[in-house]
Chains A and B, each alone.
Chain A
Amino acid sequence: GQQLNQSPQSMFIQEGEDVSMNCTSSSIFNTWLWYKQDPGEGPVLLIALYKAGELTSNGRLTAQFGITRKDSFLNISASIPSDVGIYFCAGRVNYGGSQGNLIFGKGTKLSVKP
């Protein structure tokens, strides 16, 4: 089946630092979504991408739809303590016109640097 590789699995942030994470796939996707999940809560949609090369921002968050259509990147600028949580990418394959369901990465866990 389809798989998404999300990296890094975890990282520590210090307030003010920029953060980057990415997802790669063996398949071509026509949609990329980025979510943030706090402990014990449902994921919250951060950014949605629909076109190869698209670059979209949401406050300090910026995400890009890779031009190969097999990857996506999320950057957080000037991180703050409330950025901690788990970030998930999700992609959707277009099967020759028939829309597939979302496939999720395993998440990138952001924690505060001790």
Chain B
Amino acid sequence: DGGITQSPKYLFRKEGQNVTLSCEQNLNHDAMYWYRQDPGQGLRLIYYSQIVNDFQKGDIAEGYSVSREKKESFPLTVTSAQKNPTAFYLCASSVRQANPYEQYFGPGTRLTVT
């Protein structure tokens, strides 16, 4: 079945450590996105990539880094510079940036940093 997978589902880290969240899609989508979700909030865009080897900062990119070496994969690293890393992280993909424009989400990774 086609879809987006994120792993792991739950992640625990100590403060000061970098951590990488995985996102893989087999939908043959060109564009991929990372969002952060905090309780009672909408989704906020961290980074996005429209094509392999290219990515752009979203609204809250500080303290995060990404890579896009393969079309199927868009890992997110939460660095020690991110001041409030505990959150629910969602990866999404879309066929392209042009309409029809529909983003599909993975199941999410809940990161807890203590």
> Which residues of A are in contact with B by a Cβ distance under 8 Å?
1, 4, 6, 30-31, 33, 35, 40-45, 48, 50, 88, 90, 92, 99, 101-107
Contacts and interface: CB of A to CB of B under 8 A. Distances in A.
A101 B43 CA distance: 12
Interface stretch (B12-20, B71-79, B92-100): B92-100
Interface of B: 4, 6, 33, 40-45, 48, 58-59, 90, 92, 97-108, 110
B75 to A, nearest CB: 17
Nearest to B90: A42
Contacts of A103: 42
A80 B75 CA distance: 38
B102 A44 contact: no
Given A42-B108, A88-B43, A102 B97 contact: no
